[in-house]
Amino acid sequence: MKKVIIFLSTIILIVAVTDYTIGICCRYYIQSHELAGRYKPLDRLLKKVDTDIILIGNSVILNAINPQIISDSTSLTCYNGGITGKSIEFSEILINSILQRHTPKKIIIALRPEEMGANAGDGIFDVLKPYYDMGYKSIDEYFNSTSKSEKLLLQSNLLRYNTIWMRALLYIFFDNHDYSENGFVAQEIPAIFPQIQHITTYDLPIKRKTDALQRIIEKCKQGGIELYISFPPILLSFSKKELPCVHAVDSICKANSVKCFIDYNKEEFLHDPRLFYDNYHMNKNGAAKYTRNLVQRIQPSYKIDAPCQK
Amino acid sequence: MLFNSLSFILFFPIVCIIYWILPNRYRNLMLLIASYYFYMSWEPTYAILILFTSISTWLCALNIEKNERTKKASIVICLVINLLILFIFKYYNFTAETIVSIFPSISIPHSDLLLPVGISFYTFQCIGYIVDVYRKDIAAEKKLITYLLFVSFFPQLVAGPIERAKNLLPQFHRSHTFNGDDFIAGLKMMIWGYFMKLCIAGNVAPYVDAVYNNVDHHNGTSLLLASFFFSFQIFCDFGGYSLIAIGTAKCVGFTLMQNFNHPYLSSSVKEFWRRWHISLSSWFADYVYIPMGGSRCSRVKHYRNLLFTMLLSGIWHGANWTFLCWGGLHGVLLVLNALWNKLTTKISPKFISILFTYALTSLAWIFFRANSISDALTVVGKICSEPGPLFKGDGIPALMLPLMMILILLFKEIKDECSIKLNFMHHSSSWISIPSCAFMVIIILLCAEFNSGQFIYFQF
C-alpha cells in the first residue's frame, strides 16, 4: 500500500507543479504574443481588431466576404472575423468581448440557413478556454455557467491549454498564412466545380439560438452599432421555399428593424457553380461578386465597378 | 459509461477503494452491482437484456451438466436464444434491407431498436461458456452471482477482451489480496491505454472523418494519409480500450487476456491475426475454424474454412457490406498466405515482410472504414491514380500532433517487440518510472482530444 501511495502522490505532485508552471508560461505568452495559424483570427478579434466594420460568423462568411472590397468602396476599415465551425452563441460571446474594448460602426453577421436549428451543432467553445479569467466578461460568464465539473477542470492549466498550446506553438513554424491581414481566406478555384445538392429535409429553430440573436441585436442597439444579418449564397437547393430557421431570423430582424439579406438561394449564384469552392463555401471569384453585391445594399452610394483587390 | 469520461474517473477509484476495504465474501456482489451500474449508466433498460442472456445461459449450462439426455437440446436452445437476440438487435435491419433490395415487391418493417452496447462481446462470451460446458472443458458455474459477474464484469463488458470461462471464472472464486505492484502495473497499463485512445485515436479522428465522409472531394494523397491515420486510429482506439480494461481489472486483482501484441509488426497476414484482437480471433479459431476442420483437412476445405471464418468475423463487426467485404478480403489474404507458404520456403527480409503486411492490412481497413463499398473502391482507385495537393484539414499542426504521437507509439512497439531494454514507465528504479508515468499523464492532459467520443468498437 505504501508503494501505491508514494506512486500516486509523486505523480500528483509532479503533475500539479507542471500544471502551475505551464499556466504561468502560457498566460504570459497569450498576453504578450499574437497566436498564429488558425488561432490568429480569434486572437486578433479579442485583442487587436479596431476596424469600422467587423464581419462575424463561421466559415461561410470567412470565404464569402472580402473586406478589401468593402474598404475600397466605403472608405471604412473592415475585418473578416469568420471562424470555422462556430455557432451564433459563439458569435454572441465574441461580439460581447470585442465591444468591451472597441465599438465598430457596423457589424455584419453571416449565417447558414440552418444555423438556428438543433442539428447545426453548437460549435466547440474550447478555443476560448485560454482567454478565461483574462478580463473578458462574457467568456468568463460562459464558462462560469457550465457544469461544476467543467468549471473544476478549467482550474487545471494543462486541460485549459489542452491541444491548443501545441498547435499554437507548431503554427509559429508551420503557419501557411491562409489568413490575410484583414482575416479573409480566399478559396482557390477548384479543378472540378461542385454540383448543386438538393435538400429535402429542414430543421426547426431552437429558442436558445434565436435568443442569442435577439441579445446580439439589443447589444448592438445599445452601442449604436448598425447590425446586418446575411445568409450568403451556398450551392444547395432546398425543396421547402421558406426554411423555418431563416424565417425565424427574418422575423426577429423585422421586429427589430435590422436589415436581413436572405441570399442563400440567390438565383445568380445558385446557377453558377463556378463561383463556389464547395457546396458551402464560395471561391475567391464568388466572394468578390457577393461582396460587391452586399456593399451595394449596405452602402447604396457604392459603385458596382469598384476595383476588386485582395 | 465511457472509460474516457469524467464519471469513470470518479467511478473507478470509488470501486477500487470499496472493493479492497470489503471482506472477500462480499467483493463479487459489490463488483456485480458496480458492473450493472456501469452498464446502466448508458441505457438502463438494456440491463434487462444482459440479465436475461446471462440467466438463460446459466440455466442451460446447469442443465447440460446435470442431464446428459437433454444436453443437446439445452445447448441448441441456449444458442438460439443468444443468436436470436443478437440477430434482432444487430442484423434485423440489414437482413430486411438486403431482402427488400433483392425483392422490391416485399415490404419488411424497419426496426427502431437501439443497438445495445457490447452485445456482440457478451453474447460471444456466453456462447463460449456454454460450448465449453457442453464439451466438458469446464464445469458449469453453480453460483448465479458469480456467473452474472462473469458476463458483466465492467472492465471487459462493452468491448472485450472476450474472456474465456476457464480463465476468468476461477478468478472470481479465488480470494484476492491487495498487491501494490499489480495495482501500479494496472495503472501504468491504463495510462498507456489512455495515451493511445485520447492522444492518437482522438487526434487523427477529425481528419479521417473529414476525408472519409467526403471521398469524392479528396485526392489520392489526402485519402492515403487518411487511410494511414485510420490504421492507427482503429488500433489505438481498440488497443487503448483493451489496455484500459486489462489495467482496470488488474487494479482489482484480476488478470484478463492480452488482446493486442504489436499487430503492425507482423510479417504475414496469418501472424497479424495472432496479434490483432487476440480474444476474438482465438474465439473464432476455437469455436468455428477448428470444429470445421481447421487446416487438418484437404487443401480446398482448409481454404474454405479460412474464408468462412473471416467472413463471419467481418459480419460480427457490423451489419454492413463493408465489414463483410473486409472479412472476405482478409479471408482471401489468408488463403494467399497459405498458398504462398506452400509454394515457397524463401523468406523475404523481415522489414520488407512487415511493411508489405502493414500495406495489405491497411488496404483492408479502407473497406472497414468507408461508408459504402463504392466509397471504398473510390478510395483505392484514387490512391492508385490521383495524386494531388494534401488536404490539410485543421492545418499542418493538427496533422503534426498525431504524427508525433504515432512516432512515440511506434518507438514503444518496436522497443517491446525487439526486447530492447530501454524502460521508462516500467524501469526498476522508481526515480525513473514514476517521473516517466507523470510525464505521460502530462502529455495526455496536454495533447489528448477529450471530445473524441466513444470507442469505435462500442458499436460492435
- B268-311 pLDDT, tens digit each: 899 999 999 999 999 999 999 998 888 888 888 888 999 999 99
Whether residue B173 is found in the same domain as residue B249: no
Q: How many CB atoms lie within 10 A of CB B317?
A: 20
* Number of domains composing chain B: 2
Whether residue B356 is found in the same domain as residue B426: yes
- Is B354 in CB contact (< 8 Å) with chain A? no
Q: Is residue B114 part of a domain?
A: yes
Whether residue B164 is found in the same domain as residue B253: no
Whether residue B146 is found in the same domain as residue B288: no
Q: Which of the listed residues B142, B177, B212 is the one where a domain comes to its end?
A: B177
Nearest to A259 by CA among A202, A297, A218: A297
pLDDT at residue B411 is higher than 70: yes
- Note the pLDDT tens digit of each residue in B149-198: 999 999 988 877 888 999 999 999 988 888 889 999 999 999 999 999 99
Q: Which cell goes with A22? A: 505551464
Report the percentage of chain B scoring pLDDT > 90: 49
Nearest to A195 by CA among A224, A237, A228, A227: A237
Whether residue B187 is found in the same domain as residue B104: no
Q: Could you say which residues from 161 to 220 on chain A have a Cβ atom under 8 Å away from some Cβ of chain B? A: 161-163, 165-171, 174, 176, 178, 194
Please report the pLDDT score of residue B454 as a whole number: 55
Domains and CATH numbers, chain A: 37-123+176-298 (3.40.50.1110)
Write the DSSP assignment of B51-103 as a string of letters: HHHHHHHHHHHHHHHH-STTHHHHHHHHHHHHHHHHIIIIIHHHHHHHHHHH-
Whether residue B144 is found in the same domain as residue B202: no
- Note the pLDDT tens digit of each residue in A203-221: 888 888 899 999 999 999 9
| Most confidently modeled range among A31-45, A60-74, A148-162 | A60-74
Q: How many CB atoms lie within 10 A of CB B421?
A: 7
Burial class (CB in 10 A: 0-12, 13-18, 19+), B330: buried
Cα–Cα dist A63/A49, whole Å: 19
pLDDT at residue B256 is higher than 50: yes
Per the structure, the complete domain to which residue B26 belongs is given by: 6-177
Whether residue B196 is found in the same domain as residue B86: no
Q: Is residue B102 part of a domain?
A: yes
Q: Which of B93-97, B228-232, B320-324 is the least confident region? A: B93-97
Element (H, E) at A141: helix A137-144
For residue A109, the SS3 value is strand
Nearest to B265 by CA among B410, B424, B362: B410
End-to-end CA distance of chain B: 16
Cα–Cα dist B435/B430, whole Å: 8
Q: Is residue B336 part of a domain?
A: yes
Q: Which of the listed residues B177, B195, B219 is the one where a domain comes to its end?
A: B177
If you ran DSSP here, which 8-state letter would residue B391 be given?
P
Q: Which of B84-98, B253-267, B384-398, B432-446 is the least confident region? A: B384-398
Please report the pLDDT score of residue A306 as a whole number: 43
Nearest to B145 by CA among B50, B31, B43: B31
Q: Is residue B1 part of a domain?
A: no
Whether residue B29 is found in the same domain as residue B96: yes
pLDDT at residue B82 is higher than 70: yes
CB contact under 8 A, B451 and A124: yes
Please report the pLDDT score of residue A302 as a whole number: 47
Nearest by CB to B180, from A4, A38, A168: name it: A4
Burial class (CB in 10 A: 0-12, 13-18, 19+), B142: exposed
pLDDT at residue A75 is higher than 50: yes
CB contact under 8 A, B396 and A165: no
Whether residue B132 is found in the same domain as residue B190: no
Model ipTM value: 0.77
Give catalytic status of residue B426 as yes or no.
no
Whether residue B371 is found in the same domain as residue B334: yes
HSE (CB half, 13 Å, CA atoms) of A230? 27
Q: Which of the listed residues B177, B197, B227 is the one where a domain comes to its end?
A: B177
Which candidate in B218, B277, B302, B317 is catalytic?
B317
Whether residue B342 is found in the same domain as residue B262: yes
Please name the residue that has the C-alpha cell 505521460.
B440
- Note the pLDDT tens digit of each residue in B346-373: 667 888 889 999 999 999 999 999 988 9
Size of interface A-B (CB pairs under 8 A): 90
Q: Is residue B97 part of a domain?
A: yes
Please name the residue that has the C-alpha cell 435491419.
B93
- Note the pLDDT tens digit of each residue in B118-147: 888 899 999 999 999 999 999 999 999 999
Contact B280, B305 (CB under 8 A): no
Q: Which cell goes with B320? A: 454492413
Q: Which cell goes with B404? A: 508525433
Contacts of A296-302 with CB under 8 Å at 24 or more apart are A297/A259, A297/A261, A298/A74, A298/A106, A298/A108, A298/A226, A298/A228, A298/A259, A299/A73, A299/A74, A302/A73, A302/A74
Q: How many helices (H) and strands (E) does chain B have?
A: 19, 0
Please report the pLDDT score of residue A281 as a whole number: 87
The pLDDT mean for chain B works out to: 88
Q: Is residue B348 part of a domain?
A: yes
Please report the pLDDT score of residue B457 as a whole number: 55
Please report the pLDDT score of residue A305 as a whole number: 46
Q: Which of A74-78, B245-249, B395-399 is the least confident region? A: B395-399
Whether residue B141 is found in the same domain as residue B276: no
- Is A152 in CB contact (< 8 Å) with chain B? no
